[in-house]
Structure 1
Amino acid sequence: MARDIVIWPHKVLTTSTQPVTDFGPALEKLLEEMAEAMAEAKGIGIAANQVGVPLRVAIVGREDGTSFEIVNPQILSKQGDTKLEEGCLSVPDVWEKCPRVERVKVRYQDKTAQWHEVEAEGRLAHVFQHEIDHLDGHVFVDHLSSLKRTLILERMRKLQKSLARQKDEAAAPERDAKGPKRS
């Protein structure tokens, strides 16, 4: 079952994640749930803290529609400057040109704890940076002007309230079916 995606500015999205040390079944299950959440939301990447889990693990999507897991990633080098249109599953329905670097070299572990290094450019480099930013406690709006960030923050807080109301309304029939409320 897919996990719910957390909406910014939730605290789990603004706090650095913890390194993965257990490469067992719990990690495999988390990755499956993240992949399901990403697919349901039609995303091209997702970090564990976007589903409320403060671990240093993400799924990175390629332009051909395939994806791969990165665990404990670190950017080793950056080159060039670019701006690409960027959105985020935790900041729904917001798209902005975001400054990034054109090429990155990244070191990461896979789900079996094996280390890899990859050089990426263009869209893949962009996705790496976006997901690793999440793991470092940053969202793409942190790269925007303070005015844009403030306007987006207001929209996300309204969305959070609306989603909380919907969740309460959905739970109300279940509470009512259990009998009268007691104090």
Structure 2
Amino acid sequence: MARDIVIWPNKVLTTPTKPVTDFGEGLTKLLDEMTESMKEAEGIGIAATQIGVSLRCAWVGREDGTFFEIINPQILDKSGPVVLEEGCLSVPDYFDKTPRFHKVKVKYQDRVGEWHELEAEGRLAHVLQHEIDHLDGHVFVDHLSALKRGLILEKMRKLQKALQRQKKE
């Protein structure tokens, strides 16, 4: 079942997540809920924090349209600074140029706890950095100027209030 996407600046999005230690049924259920939420929102990735769960896991979209889970990920290496257009399910309808790296090396676990290493570049590297940022308590707007962040913050607070009113009706 899909869950609502949390809108920034909700505290869960700005708090570093806890490592996943239980690779059982609860994790499988969470990953399924994340998938449904991401598909419903038409995203190319989603972190657990974006549905209000402070655990270190996310889904990452490949360029071919498939997805894979990353659990307890760590960026081991990054190179080739690049600026890319970026958006976020938790900051709807806003896109801006964001500094990232063209290439990353990431270590992560899968749903059964097995470790993997992946070298990625281009779009996949971009999505990995974005989702791992979420797990570290950061949203892409943290990379923007204070002025831009302030303007976006105002819009997101209005959106949060509108969504709360809708729920009450």
For 1:149 and 1:63, how far apart are their aligned partners in 2?
29
User: Paired residue for 1:150?
Assistant: 150
Structure 1 consecutive aligned stretches of length 4 or more whose deviation exceeds 2 Å: none
User: Paired residue for 2:134?
Assistant: 134
User: Paired residue for 2:57?
Assistant: 57
> Aligned letter for 1:139?
V
Measured after TM superposition, the shift of residue 147 of structure 1 is 0.7
RMSD: 0.4
Mapping for residues 14-163 of structure 1, pairs under 5 Å: 14-163=14-163
Measured after TM superposition, the shift of residue 25 of structure 1 is 0.4
Measured after TM superposition, the shift of residue 121 of structure 1 is 0.4
For 2:56 and 2:138, how far apart are their aligned partners in 1?
13
TM-score between the two structures when normalised by the length of structure 2? 0.99
For 1:120 and 1:6, how far apart are their aligned partners in 2?
28
For 1:61 and 1:86, how far apart are their aligned partners in 2?
14
For 1:4 and 1:74, how far apart are their aligned partners in 2?
27
Mapping for residues 167-178 of structure 1, pairs under 5 Å: 167-169=167-169
Measured after TM superposition, the shift of residue 84 of structure 1 is 1.1
For 1:112 and 1:56, how far apart are their aligned partners in 2?
14
Structure number having the greater strand percentage: 2
For 1:167 and 1:153, how far apart are their aligned partners in 2?
21
User: Cα deviation per residue 1:7-35 (whole Å; 9 max; x = unaligned)?
Assistant: 00000000000000000000000000000
Measured after TM superposition, the shift of residue 63 of structure 1 is 1.1
Residues matched between the structures, number: 169
User: Paired residue for 2:165?
Assistant: 165
SS at match of 1:102: strand
User: Cα deviation per residue 1:56-93 (whole Å; 9 max; x = unaligned)?
Assistant: 00000011110000000000001011111100000000
User: Paired residue for 1:175?
Assistant: none
Computing the radius of gyration over CA atoms, which structure comes out larger, 1 or 2?
A: 1
For 1:65 and 1:98, how far apart are their aligned partners in 2?
23
> Aligned letter for 1:113?
G
SS at match of 1:81: strand
> Aligned letter for 1:62?
R
For 1:35 and 1:87, how far apart are their aligned partners in 2?
18
For 1:63 and 1:4, how far apart are their aligned partners in 2?
25
TM-score between the two structures when normalised by the length of structure 1? 0.92
Unaligned runs of 5+ in 2: none
